Structure 1
Amino acid sequence: MTFSSAPPPTTVDGDGASTISAVHPDVIQTQILNRLDGATLASAACASSHLRGLCNDDTLWRNICTATWPSLHDPRVRHVVSGFPGGHRSLFSDSFPTLHHVDDHPDRSFPTASDHWISAVDLYYRDTPIFSKVIRTETRTGWFGSSPLWIDLLDPNELVPTPLVYARKDEDWMRQRHLEENLSVSWILIDPTRNRAANLSSRKAVSAKRNWFSRDLELVYAVVIACEGRAAREWVQCNIKVTCCGEAGGEMHVREVSLMVEDTEGRNICGEESMVILQRAIENGKRERVKEEEAKAREEKNTDTFNSQTVRYTGKR
């Protein structure tokens, strides 16, 4: 009695790629890879040299980036990203997840100042984008260098509609808690000179409270950045403030989204020093998910008010 031999084992090439190489690349890209999120696509690229080449396709990464951050559709951003070494893949690696602290061996030299920054900002409600905008901030002006850094995303009379109802007084605590959990911000700061970027916003708000004077709801999103080599400071906190307004029971609007950098005592840092700190962090910073509880506790230690003489710097639209 004879027996047929067992089927041959799956063919594997020298670097671990299996017979998936026999599948047409278009099938892999259109039926498999384009359904993956960024983290999974990056992992797939490590499986073999064959997959690495397919996974590095810029169209895949552009679709992932613009789906995650709709603001990246802006032509100004796409022009800058075209100069990144890895295109949209590099942008994703820089911007997801949030910037946090700096590495153990930072470059202590002072980086050459960029002449402008680009901010790509997206607001989300329950992870669904509700507003996107891109602004350019000139950084070579004397006004920027000497004034406390304060970049406003919205124009003075601009209001962003939301799908939320503005809370009545008896619903205050519940509404603040709801906003903390469901209203999120992404603020990607892009350095066109170095072709690098970083996300300066925590995933969720670290504080939510009602302004005692205006009665507007104010949410703060924050990341902490170490200031290696800065004798006067050990770390600073990059804050993004979102201010919501409206009539009780009516539609809630966002009327302010602003970026500032504070020291440990809650004092705003000038544009020149902020630029050095942020540029160094963008180049050397770790990208990891921040512990929101720690960030929130740190924010609560800072002062709640800013210097009344702080001059706002509005980026050029």
Structure 2
Amino acid sequence: MDSSHSTNSPITTIHPDIIQSHILTRLDGTALTSAASTTSHLHHLCTENHLWQKITTATWPSLNEPLATSIISTLPNSHRSIFSDSFPSVHYSSASTPPDSSPLSSLKELISAVDLYYEGKSVFSKTLRTETHKGWFLCSPLWIEILEPNEIIETQIKFEQNDVVEWLENNLSLSWIMISPTRQRSVNLSSRLPVTVKRHWLTGELEVLYAVVMGLVQCTIKVTCCGKAGGEMHVREISLSMEDMDGRHLIGRDSLGILQEVMENGERKKVDVEKMKSGL
């Protein structure tokens, strides 16, 4: 048999359009990254931005919003850059003291891209710009609230009556990507799955916490859910804060230094949610 028709023929004999349209479009981001590292030919095909745009916007619908798309277009490798930085969550284990934030005067803003999922399907997405150079941000405890005051997210999710804590722990996931336009880097500050779910002693609302430990600092995201058993679940709060290991809230100035360090030097890896639960 003609060796050119052998099953061992190199992939270069396949038309690039066929590879991109019928093979690479079926891969997720992790598989696409692995394929890109195999040969120079595949690397060229796997780094086409339209493939990464499809993957990132499907993974994080918030990145479809105009604020996010305008920022992504300025990144060195566009959508591939933000996927590389933001998937999965970050792991930063330095035990050093928090970096000095004084050199960060050029860090004028942070962009939050937040997605809330139920059973893997998006139920809420939003991007938010936070100005970081103003006195109120630099000198106050870091607290970023995605929702407007008195805003309620109405969902079609039926509020379970039994085992409500376990129900939310297993089904309500969240992503919070923080983007620095000036540094052209991003990081995912969520553990994806909750590390704890507890009922507020006074209001009866359910507080769902996601957390990532970054050296001597913990980033915590709180989602507050409410609703009547058997009815629909609503969300009235999605907020982010940072604390040291003694539970003291970090001010904005200190947080900026840590965020830059984590964005640039943090390792991207899966978060061990069970380990996080044991530490809370």
Which structure 2 residues correspond to residues 74-113 of structure 1 after superposition, within 5 A? 74-102=65-93, 110=101, 111-113=103-105
Distance in 1 between residues matched to 2:75 and 2:9, nearest whole Å: 31
TM-score (norm 1): 0.82
Per-residue deviation, 1:270: 0.7
Per-residue deviation, 1:266: 1.8
Which structure 2 residues correspond to residues 167-246 of structure 1 after superposition, within 5 A? 167-168=160-161, 171=162, 174-226=163-215, 235-246=216-227
Distance in 2 between residues matched to 1:267 and 1:178, nearest whole Å: 30
| Residue matched to 1:144 | 137
What secondary structure is seen at the aligned counterpart in 1 of 2:133? coil
| Residue matched to 2:269 | 288
Which structure 2 residues correspond to residues 9-24 of structure 1 after superposition, within 5 A? 19-24=10-15
Distance in 1 between residues matched to 2:99 and 2:250, nearest whole Å: 19
Per-residue deviation, 1:103: 6.4
Given that 1:102 and 1:281 are in contact with CA atoms closer than 8 Å, whether structure 2 keeps it comes out as no
| Residue matched to 1:306 | none
What secondary structure is seen at the aligned counterpart in 2 of 1:129? strand
| Residue matched to 1:270 | 251
| Residue matched to 2:118 | 125
When residues 10 and 95 of structure 1 are mapped into structure 2, their CA distance, relative to the original with a 3 A threshold, is: farther
Larger CA Rg, structure 1 vs 2: 1
What secondary structure is seen at the aligned counterpart in 1 of 2:279? helix
TM-score (norm 2): 0.93
Per-residue deviation, 1:191: 0.5
Distance in 2 between residues matched to 1:38 and 1:44, nearest whole Å: 10
Distance in 2 between residues matched to 1:167 and 1:29, nearest whole Å: 43
Per-residue deviation, 1:161: 2.1
Given that 2:100 and 2:257 are in contact with CA atoms closer than 8 Å, whether structure 1 keeps it comes out as no
| Residue matched to 2:23 | 32
- Show CA shifts across 1:235-292 (max 9, x none): 1100000000113332110110000001112221111111111111111101001111
Distance in 2 between residues matched to 1:164 and 1:74, nearest whole Å: 24
When residues 23 and 76 of structure 1 are mapped into structure 2, their CA distance, relative to the original with a 3 A threshold, is: same
Per-residue deviation, 1:102: 4.6
Per-residue deviation, 1:22: 2.1
Q: What are the ranges of 5 or more consecutive residues in structure 1 without an aligned counterpart?
A: 1-5, 12-16, 227-234, 300-317
CA RMSD in angstroms, aligned pairs only: 2.2
Per-residue deviation, 1:162: 2.5
Distance in 1 between residues matched to 2:260 and 2:93, nearest whole Å: 11
Aligned length, in residue pairs? 277
Identity %: 50
- Show CA shifts across 1:136-177 (max 9, x none): 000011000111101000111221123333355xx3xx1111
What secondary structure is seen at the aligned counterpart in 2 of 1:244? strand
| Residue matched to 2:231 | 250
Given that 2:99 and 2:258 are in contact with CA atoms closer than 8 Å, whether structure 1 keeps it comes out as no
Distance in 1 between residues matched to 2:29 and 2:99, nearest whole Å: 32
Distance in 1 between residues matched to 2:9 and 2:95, nearest whole Å: 39
